[in-house]
Structure 1
Amino acid sequence: MTKTLVTVFGAAVLAAGAVLVKHHYWPLEPDHKPREEVAEYIAMMVSVLYALVLGLSLAAVQGIQSSAGAHVQAEASAAHQILLLAEGLPPAQAERTRVGVDAYVRHVVTVEWPAMAHGTLDGGRGWDLVERLRTAMQVPDTATAAQQLTGRETLAQLSTLSRARRGREADVGASLSPVLWFGLLVGGVLTMAFIFVFGIDRSFTHVAMVMGLSALITLTALLVHHLNTPFSGLFAVDATPFMRYFPFP
Structure 2
Amino acid sequence: MLAYTLSVSAAVGVVLLTALVFRLVRGAGEDRDPAGPTAGHAGAMLSAMFLLVFAIAVVVPWTTADAARQNTHVESQAAIDAFWAADALPGTAPLEVRNALRNYVTFVVRDEWPLMAQGRMDPLGAARMDQLRGRVTGLEVSGDDEEEAKATVLEHVRAISAARAQRTADAAARPPDGVLFLTVLTGALVILFPFLAGARPRGLTILPIVATAGLLGFGTYLTWDISRAFAGPLAVGPQAFQGALQEFARIGGGM
Q: Aligned residue for 2:151?
A: 152
Q: Aligned residue for 2:15?
A: none
Q: Aligned residue for 2:94?
A: 94
Q: Aligned residue for 1:67?
A: 67
Q: Aligned residue for 1:164?
A: 163
Q: Aligned residue for 2:128?
A: 129
- Provide structure 2 residue ranges, at least 5 long, that are not aligned to the other structure: 1-31
Deviations 1:94-150 (A, max 9, x none): 111101101111111111112222333232x11221122113334745433122112
Q: Aligned residue for 2:205?
A: 205
TM-score, normalised by the number of residues in structure 2? 0.74
Instruction: Supply the RMSD in Å over aligned alpha carbons.
Output: 2.6
Deviations 1:202-247 (A, max 9, x none): 5313222x12321332222222222211111122111100001103
Q: Aligned residue for 2:78?
A: 78
- Provide structure 1 residue ranges, at least 5 long, that are not aligned to the other structure: 1-31
TM-score, normalised by the number of residues in structure 1? 0.76
Q: Structure 1's 172 and 112: CA in aligned 2 closer, same or farther, altered over 3 A?
A: same
Do structure 1's residue 182 and structure 2's residue 181 form an aligned pair? Answer: yes
Partner SS for 1:85: helix
Q: Aligned residue for 1:240?
A: 239
Q: Aligned residue for 1:222?
A: 221
Q: Structure 1's 129 and 212: CA in aligned 2 closer, same or farther, altered over 3 A?
A: same
Equivalent residues of 2:180, 2:223 under 8 A apart: no
What CA distance in whole angstroms lies between the structure 2 residues aligned with 1:158 and 1:177?
33
AA partner of residue 232 (structure 1):
A
What CA distance in whole angstroms lies between the structure 2 residues aligned with 1:246 and 1:213?
47
Q: Structure 1's 142 and 114: CA in aligned 2 closer, same or farther, altered over 3 A?
A: closer
What CA distance in whole angstroms lies between the structure 2 residues aligned with 1:110 and 1:201?
55
Equivalent residues of 1:139, 1:148 under 8 A apart: no
Q: Aligned residue for 2:54?
A: 54
Q: Aligned residue for 2:12?
A: none
Q: Structure 1's 162 and 33: CA in aligned 2 closer, same or farther, altered over 3 A?
A: closer
Offset of residue 163 of structure 1: 1.0
What CA distance in whole angstroms lies between the structure 1 residues aligned with 2:141 and 2:131?
21
What CA distance in whole angstroms lies between the structure 2 residues aligned with 1:178 and 1:83?
41
Deviations 1:142-194 (A, max 9, x none): 43312211211111111111111111112222112232122111111111110
Partner SS for 1:176: coil
AA partner of residue 128 (structure 1):
A
Q: Structure 1's 117 and 40: CA in aligned 2 closer, same or farther, altered over 3 A?
A: same
What CA distance in whole angstroms lies between the structure 1 residues aligned with 2:45 and 2:172?
35
Offset of residue 200 of structure 1: 5.1
- Range 41-50 or range 71-80, more displaced: 41-50
Task: Summarize the alignment of residues 10-49 of structure 1 with structure 2, pairs less than 5 Å apart.
Answer: 35=35, 42=43, 45-49=46-50
Aligned residues: 215
| The structure with more radius of gyration | 2
Partner SS for 1:223: helix
Partner SS for 1:228: coil
Equivalent residues of 2:46, 2:186 under 8 A apart: no
AA partner of residue 47 (structure 2):
V
Offset of residue 61 of structure 1: 1.6
What percent identity do the matched residue pairs reach?
Answer: 23
What CA distance in whole angstroms lies between the structure 2 residues aligned with 1:168 and 1:58?
20
Using CA pairs below 8 Å that are at least 6 residues apart, which structure has the higher relative contact order? 1
AA partner of residue 76 (structure 2):
A
